[in-house]
Structure 1
């Protein structure tokens, strides 16, 4: 019996997936949650064989949980990401995190069950529709400071407010944002936020 953790922040989808997955006599959903931080805790306390994680959750993202589980000495199970997104940046992060599966939510349930069994057996699974993206991955050109400042731009902060909040000079903030704009081939900081989000880079 495969002991599965299901982490999905949309309650209706989580309940539906739980019911459908348990149709399989080989899968037992031992824990569910809609919060990334709780998913991390449950994965390491419920003797989970496979953690199936939504990418976008409150607390911690699925990718952040995956990274922590892969680095953990107390978790020996497999990790798979479940998403509606086919953004190259997400796939790149998933591959860097060495996840065991990258699956789409709209897969037929039989396909999802087969994927979970394959992942539990020690093989890596990437949904068929996502496989072409593996050959066209773009490396994130932004550094951590640029990503941090783009998040601040997304929050609507001005250069002066960002400088105060991040304890930087206004000139330093402008330089980092200018660098981000050049790397993303855009001319406006809000355009940079849009492109970085579409790519899954922030």
Structure 2
């Protein structure tokens, strides 16, 4: 029996995934969670074989969750299931150790097969996304990404500087670099473009 923890913030989707996977004779859903921190608690409690998680979740994103699970439980394999069919997200998911990346509109049988494949040590990546993943590289540094995320929420330079422990001049430099790299007119447009590419 392959033991699975499911993390998904939409209750209907979580229930449907759990019900569908429970129909598979060799898969057992041992825990479910509606946010990233609850999912990490489920992984800590149940030590599943596979974690299936969405990317965008409250309290801890699926990518941050995958990175934390890889650190604490390197034997737990991670499959990302998301609506975000963007190459940038796929590259970031692979960088934090995810072994699978599927879109939510994939057939249920495909998810079950992906879980089996990653449990056996392989990878399961949406083929169309896999082809596009090696196109345009992410130009942002981690710090530029942090500053853009903060700017995306409408925070001013001083607030961003205080939150990240940087000087206001350094924050302005990071924003200027990100805006230039993305060919944007301002910080809001830069954040929007980065989000569309899956780089935030």
TM-score (structure 1 length as normaliser): 0.90
**Aligned pairs, how many?**
200
Deviation at 1:155, TM superposition (A): 1.9
Deviation at 1:164, TM superposition (A): 5.1
Q: Aligned partners of 2:171, 2:74: CA distance in 1, in Å?
A: 40
Q: 1:33 to 1:173 in 2, by over 3 A?
A: same
Q: CA deviation at 1:122?
A: 1.3
Q: Residues 164 and 3 of structure 1: is their aligned pair in 2 closer, same or farther, counting only changes over 3 Å?
A: closer
Gapped regions of structure 2 (runs ≥ 5): none
Superposition map of 1:22-33 within 5 A? 22-33=22-33
Secondary structure in 2 aligned to 1:64? helix
Deviating more after overlay: 90-99 vs 161-170: 161-170
Deviation at 1:169, TM superposition (A): 4.4
Structure 2: distance between partners of 1:85 and 1:161: 30
Tell me which of 146, 149, 154 is aligned to 2:147: 149
Q: Quote how far apart the aligned CAs of 1:75 are.
A: 4.9
Relative distance call for 1:163 and 1:119 in structure 2 (3 A) is closer
User: Is the 2:144–2:175 contact (alpha carbons within 8 Å) kept by the matching residues of 1?
Assistant: yes
The SS at the match of 1:186 is coil
Unpaired stretches in structure 1, ≥5 consecutive residues: none
Contact 2:87 2:129 in 1 (8 A): no
* Change in CA separation of 1:147 and 1:47 when aligned onto 2, cut-off 3 Å: closer
Larger Rg: 1
> What residue is the counterpart of 2:138 in the other structure?
140
